[in-house]
Amino acid sequence: MIARTPKPPYYAVIFTTIKNSVDADYDTMAVEMEKLAREQDGFLGIESTSGSSGGITVSYWKDLKSIEQWKNNHRHLLAQQKGREKWYNSYKTRVAKVERDYGFERSEKE
């Protein structure tokens, strides 16, 4: 779940969604998009969770060029179009440069 990203700087795309009408096509496409994203140049990791109030997916990328290429991927453009036509009530995408990160992992012995 927690992406194993390299040392900063790198980029994050924060995609926050409120769903509208989700069907079987949505689930199929979501799985396809995550698989396809992982195959793109510059992909570093992805974290995603969703609840009743909405969903947040954060994908991590090497640079702006890799984000732009993914945004314009043929299958991804189709998914974006279907998202606006049907699946989402609203969404927001934010492109951000990760400047620093830190974390915590529980020791096995605790």
Residues in contact with a copy of itself by the rule CB under 8 A: 1-3, 5, 8, 12, 14, 16, 18, 20, 47-51, 53-56, 58, 83-84, 88-106
**CB-based burial, 70-97: b 16+ in 10 Å, e otherwise:** beebeebeebbeebeeebbeebeeeeee
Nearest distance from residue 14's CB to a copy of itself, in Å? 6
Nearest distance from residue 32's CB to a copy of itself, in Å? 19
Q: Going by C-beta distance under 8 Å and a sequence separation of 6 or more, which residues neighbour residue 5?
A: 44, 45, 60, 98, 101
Nearer to a copy of itself, 26 or 88 (CB): 88
Nearer to a copy of itself, 2 or 24 (CB): 2
Nearer to a copy of itself, 8 or 32 (CB): 8
Nearest distance from residue 41's CB to a copy of itself, in Å? 20
Residue 43 C-alpha from the chain's centroid: 10
Nearest distance from residue 67's CB to a copy of itself, in Å? 10
Q: What is the CA angle 86-89-94, rounded to 5?
A: 110
